[in-house]
Amino acid sequence: MPSLTSVKAALATQAIETPSWAYGNSGTRFKVFAQPGVPRSAFEKLDDAARVHAHTGVAPTVALHIPWDKVDDYAALAKHAEDQGLRLGTINSNVFQDDDYRLGSVCHPDAAVRRKAIDHLLACVDVMDATGSRDLKLWFADGTNYPGQDDIRARQDRLAEALSEVYTRLGDDQRLLLEYKFFEPAFYTTDVPDWGTAYAHCLKLGDKAKVVVDTGHHAPGTNIEFIVASLLRENKLGAFDFNSRFYADDDLMAGAADPFQLFRIMYEVVRGGGYTPDTAFMLDQCHNIEAKIPAIIRSVMNVQEATAKALLIDREGLSAAQTSGDVLAANAVLMDAYNTDVRPLLADVRSERGLDPDPISAYRRSGWADRIATERVGGAQAGWGA
């Protein structure tokens, strides 16, 4: 069995990145429900993220989405983060909201549109230089809706060309993270639909290119932990975008729909040596109907709980059962860890770090929700449709 001290130490050093856009108003294509007190600027999003970190102790970085979080002075934004004990994290690019991108961005048939998209990606690297961010996350809405609409292979060539130009621009300590998604907004072909395509492009680019696994971006029934194991084996897993889904890319709270899947994923992370700062553990979700800050705290706690259970697995016992072919015993080792109530353990980890053992009630007692509802008027939409 792993020692409790080592499990606690591993949990105390966990880092989960929260997305700036989860703090703003969001919704579906049918309706954006405005909530009181939502941030009016990137600076205020950081103020909210600081509350999540203050109560959980494990959310020290915030991902930005450009241009949703466009500011005149990124160094000032980084300083604002630092003043609150935070750092700016991954820079997410956005080449999917301009009219020009109707037929795609870096895969668009028109070279002028491709140039515009690549220039945005290069500008995102400039932002990284100013914020001190390590990672550039690329997700492309590119694809086609109808057979014959465009040349599938030519689009891959255009994609490779664009990625290569951006990769060349990266500094020594910067990385390119390529995110895949099987459909939406394109419905016939998607240019980066799966981990195989992302992996093939990253392999060609080099060591600084890694794949992002967004847990909401697979067909129902996909064994995501297998993908995680495979990418870690190849040293190509760069990051997670955690969220939950019941149907498609639902972007619900991580660990809400299927905590068992999150546990299985975290087990492969631990098993494959991915529980290190080389893997960015990010949330990518929206809180359309629930209060945002406590929902983000809840999501962070859900990831912590899945991680704690994964760390508690009796790896020696598991290995012995696997080697002897004892199917039931091997499965029981995993289920014993999964069925452990890790909440008291995590409460201890927090108390030992001087934090309230119950982050959600500590947040509620803090009065922050009332304060922002009074002080902030006219909060911002997260970005979709903005």
Contact positions toward ligand PSV, by CB under 6 A? 21, 92, 139, 179, 181, 214, 241, 249, 284
> DSSP secondary structure string, 106-120?
TT-SSHHHHHHHHHH
The yes or no reply on residue 48 touching Mn ion (CB under 5 A) is no
- Asked if 278 and 235 touch (Cβ cutoff 8 Å), the reply is no
- Pick the closer one to ligand PSV by CB: 275 or 384: 384
DSSP of 238-263, one letter per residue?
A: EEEEE-B-SSSS--BPTTTS-HHHHH
Q: Are 61 and 306 in contact (CB under 8 A)?
A: no
Specify the residue, 66 or 333, whose C-beta has the smaller distance to ligand PSV: 66
Closest CB to Mn ion among residues 69, 214: 214
User: Which of residues 150 and 284 has its CB atom nearest to Mn ion in the complex?
Assistant: 284
Among 17, 214, 225, 356, binds Mn ion (CB under 5 A): 214
Q: Hey, how many other C-beta atoms are within 10 angstroms of the C-beta on 306? A: 25
Task: Tell the smallest beta-carbon distance from residue 222 to ligand PSV (Å).
Answer: 15
From start to end of the chain, where are the E strands? 18-19, 61-65, 87-92, 135-138, 143-144, 175-179, 189-190, 209-214, 237-242, 280-283
Q: Which of 47, 142, 284, 305 binds Mn ion (CB under 5 A)?
A: 284
To ligand PSV, the closest distance from the beta carbon of 138 in angstroms equals: 9
In the complex with Mn ion, the residue whose CB is nearer, 182 or 188, is 182
Task: Find, among 133, 123, 126, 128, the residue nearest to 94 by Cα.
Answer: 123
Cβ-based nearer residue to ligand PSV, 92 or 131? 92
Please choose which of ligand PSV, Mn ion, none residue 92 contacts, taking the beta carbon within 5 to 8 angstroms, the exact cut-off set by kind. Answer: ligand PSV
In whole angstroms, give the CA distance from residue 241 to residue 280. 9
Neighbour tally for 147: CB within 10 Å: 8
Residue 44 interacts with Mn ion (CB under 5 A)? no
Q: For residue 33, what is the DSSP state?
A: P
By beta-carbon distance, which residue lies closest to Mn ion? Answer: 241
Rounded least distance, CB 251 to ligand PSV, Å: 7
Report which DSSP code applies to 189. E
Q: With CB cut-offs between 5 and 8 Å by kind, which of Mn ion, ligand PSV, none does residue 356 bind? A: none
Please state the closest distance from residue 53 (CB atom) to ligand PSV, in A: 21
**Residue closer to ligand PSV (CB basis): 14 or 190:** 190
Span from 70-78, 213-221, 228-236, 366-374 in contact with Mn ion (CB under 5 A):
213-221
Q: Is 17 in the site for Mn ion (CB under 5 A)?
A: no
In the complex, least distance from residue 224 CB atom to Mn ion, rounded to whole angstroms: 13
The least distance separating Mn ion from the CB of residue 139, rounded to whole angstroms, comes to 6
User: CB of 247 within 8 A of CB of 289?
Assistant: no
Q: Is 241 in the site for Mn ion (CB under 5 A)?
A: yes
Amino acid identity, residue 194?
A: D
Least spacing, CB of residue 69 vs ligand PSV, in Å: 12
Q: Which lies closer to ligand PSV via its Cβ, residue 265 or residue 337? A: 265
Alpha helix locations (H) across 184-314? 195-205, 224-233, 259-271, 292-312
Residue 54 neighbours by CB under 8 Å, 6+ apart: 85
The least CB distance from residue 184 to Mn ion, in Å, is: 8
As measured in angstroms, the least distance from the Cβ of 242 to Mn ion is 9
The residue to which tokens 């290569």 are assigned: 164
Interacting span for Mn ion (CB under 5 A) from 11-19, 48-56, 242-250, 302-310 = 242-250
Read off φ and ψ for residue 375, nearest 5 degrees. -80, -30
Closer Cβ to ligand PSV, 249 or 278, answer by number: 249
CA distance 181 to 197: 10
Residues of the shown chain interacting with Mn ion in the complex, contacts defined by CB under 5 A:
214, 241, 249, 284
